[in-house]
Structures are given as C-alpha cells and as structure tokens.
C-alpha cells in the first residue's frame, strides 16, 4: 500500500494524486457502498403500508430472504439461472480459448488487426438489436426449432459476452514467451500437453477474469433471457425486476442481495480454483 502511494505521488504529483484518491473515494462511497447498504437495509425490512413505515412493525427481519428458499418456483429459477450462467461461462471459455491463442501466438500483425476488427465491429451495434437478430434465428420459423430454444439461449448469451472472455485470455497469453512453445515442440511435446503444462498455467489470471466477468454478466442479464429464451426459461433477474416493478422493493432488494452475494462468492471461488490473487487479476 505504501509503495502504491509513492508510485501515485510520482505519477501525478501531490495535488493530482490527492484528486485521484478523493475522486476514487467519492466514487466508491456514492456509487457502490452507499447504494449497497441502502439495498441491504430495504431487504431486511418488511413490505408495509406507507403509514406503518417507521412504526413498531418496521424492524429488520430475514423474511424476505427466507421467502426465496420457501418458494419452490423461485428457488428452482434461482438454481437454474446459476447453472445456466455456469454453462454460458464454460461455453464462452471453450469457444474463446482457441481464438485467443490464435490471436496471441499464431496470427501475424495484419491478419490479427482484421480479426480484432471482425470481433469488435458487431459490438458497435446495440445489444438489443443483436439479441433481436438472434431471436429471429431462434424463432419457430428460424434455423433452430423450439426444442433447441434452451441451447439457443446459451449460444446467444455466450455470443453476447464473448469479448469479455476473449480479451482477458488474449492479454494473458500475449505475454507468454513464444520461445517456451518452440522449445517444448522441439522436445517432442504434443500441443495438448503444451497447453496443459505451459499455456493454461500462464494464462490462469486471464481465464479467471474471463470466467468472472462472463458469469456475472450472464447471471445479471435480463434482456437476453427475455428475447432468446422460451416461456419456460424464466431468469432470476426477471423475478427481481418484477418485484421492483410491482413496488415490492423489499423482496426485490433481498433477491438482488442474494444474487450479488453469490456473484461475490463466485469471484473468490475462481481465485481459489485458479490459485491467483486479486493483484494478478488487475495485471
């Protein structure tokens, strides 16, 4: 921490660094900490008529949280959302890993630039327009029929967040010394073994970042499930949205807190699985 403070003073000067620290503190306080505390406070209070708010019944309770586990439908949708988000994350990793490796260690400068442009240009279009395009493909009269709607939802969401997996992987793989790969090949190692013993261990921070970002975006998505899913593929965020829309902010805040807590737990799980530290994720 002291070294970070010294580096900040060298880079920005005393006044500039003080401005950065204050601006960051205000941002964290006003945009993250205070809204989260307000949401938690809402989640711990019962839904009461306006005249009873602040009265003897307005006390903290876990009723809004227990409702999730006592309601079989909501519990099933919650578990299905988490499982589907994990599947989306794995699908994005499987799709993006070879693309990122090709970009980092195989493609030459000119083809790499065109590949980058090809990846980025579709994201110049609004997300809703891209999802509407997938909705046409996945409709009853589209390329896929109704029996493949769940698969279509996974594919569509993996596509929606593909850049959040590709670029962390590319950033991690790009720093890998190409001579290590050449030496391994000269010693007779197969490509699967090279990836297992060299590429994947080196790219662990990038894999962790990509998985974290993709999972959190998938779990918190609302537009993609509504547009690409079948009527039976209800998403947990849609329940949260419905609660807020019907003025049941207390229940919605509790459900949102549960989802946020689970996403935070997923972050620490990825750190544990890939054996990386928070400092490495920021590199």
Assigned domain for 25 exists? no
Q: How many CA atoms lie within 13 A of 249 on its CB side?
A: 10
- The pLDDT confidence band at residue 211, using thresholds 50, 70 and 90, is very high
Count of domains for the chain: 1
The mean pLDDT value for 137-141 works out to 59
Q: What is the DSSP letter of 196?
A: I
Q: Residue 163: its pLDDT value, please?
A: 85
Is the full-model pTM beyond 0.75? yes
pLDDT, greater one: 68 or 106: 68
Assigned domain for 30 exists? no
Print the domain residue range for 240.
Answer: 68-281
pLDDT > 70: percent of the chain = 81
Assigned domain for 272 exists? yes
pLDDT, greater one: 184 or 140: 184
Assigned domain for 97 exists? yes
Assigned domain for 220 exists? yes
Q: What is the CATH number of the domain that holds 244?
A: 1.10.3720.10
Assigned domain for 93 exists? yes
Q: Which of 49-58, 92-101, 110-119, 123-132 has the highest mean pLDDT?
A: 92-101
Query: CA–CA separation, 253 vs 41, rounded Å?
Result: 9
Q: Residue 157: its pLDDT value, please?
A: 79
- Cβ atoms of 172 and 205 within 8 Å: the answer is yes
pLDDT, one tens digit per residue, over 224-280 is 777 766 656 678 888 888 888 888 888 889 999 999 999 889 988 988 888 887 666
Q: What is the mean pLDDT of the chain?
A: 81
Q: What is the CB neighbour count within 10 angstroms for residue 47?
A: 15
Assigned domain for 102 exists? yes
Q: Residue 229: its pLDDT value, please?
A: 64
Residue 24 pLDDT greater than 70, yes or no? yes
Encoded tokens for 209: 């970042």
Assigned domain for 31 exists? no
Q: Residue 258: its pLDDT value, please?
A: 92
pLDDT, one tens digit per residue, over 143-172 is 555 555 566 677 777 878 888 899 899 988
Radius of gyration of the chain (CA): 23
Burial of 119 per CB tally in 10 Å (0-12, 13-18, 19+): middle
Residue listed under structure tokens 């990836």 = 195
The mean pLDDT value for 9-14 works out to 70
Residue 23 pLDDT greater than 60, yes or no? yes
């Amino acid at each position: 921490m002291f070294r970070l403070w010294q580096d900040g003073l060298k880079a920005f000067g005393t006044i500039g660094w003080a401005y950065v620290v204050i601006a960051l503190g205000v941002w964290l306080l006003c945009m993250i900490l205070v809204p989260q505390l307000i949401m938690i406070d809402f989640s711990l209070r019962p839904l009461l008529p306006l005249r009873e708010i602040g009265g003897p019944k307005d006390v903290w309770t876990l009723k809004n949280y227990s409702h999730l586990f006592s309601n079989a439908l909501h519990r099933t949708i919650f578990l299905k959302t988490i499982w589907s988000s994990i599947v989306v994350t794995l699908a994005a990793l499987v799709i993006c890993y070879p693309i990122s490796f090709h970009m980092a260690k195989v493609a030459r400068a000119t083809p790499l630039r065109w590949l980058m442009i090809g990846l980025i240009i579709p994201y110049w279009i609004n997300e809703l327009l891209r999802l509407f395009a997938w909705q046409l493909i996945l409709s009853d009269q589209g390329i896929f029929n109704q029996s493949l709607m769940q698969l279509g939802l996974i594919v569509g969401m993996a596509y929606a967040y593909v850049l959040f997996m590709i670029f962390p992987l590319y950033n991690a793989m790009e720093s890998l010394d190409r001579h290590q790969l050449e030496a391994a090949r000269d010693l007779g190692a197969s490509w699967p073994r090279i990836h297992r013993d060299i590429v994947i261990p080196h790219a662990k921070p990038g894999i962790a970042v990509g998985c974290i970002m993709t999972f959190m975006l998938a779990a918190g998505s609302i537009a993609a499930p509504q547009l690409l899913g079948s009527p039976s593929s209800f998403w947990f965020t849609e329940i949260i949205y419905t609660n807020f829309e019907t003025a049941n902010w207390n229940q919605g805040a509790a459900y949102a807190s549960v989802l946020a807590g689970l996403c935070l737990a997923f972050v620490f799980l990825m750190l544990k699985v890939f054996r990386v530290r928070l400092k490495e994720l920021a590199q």
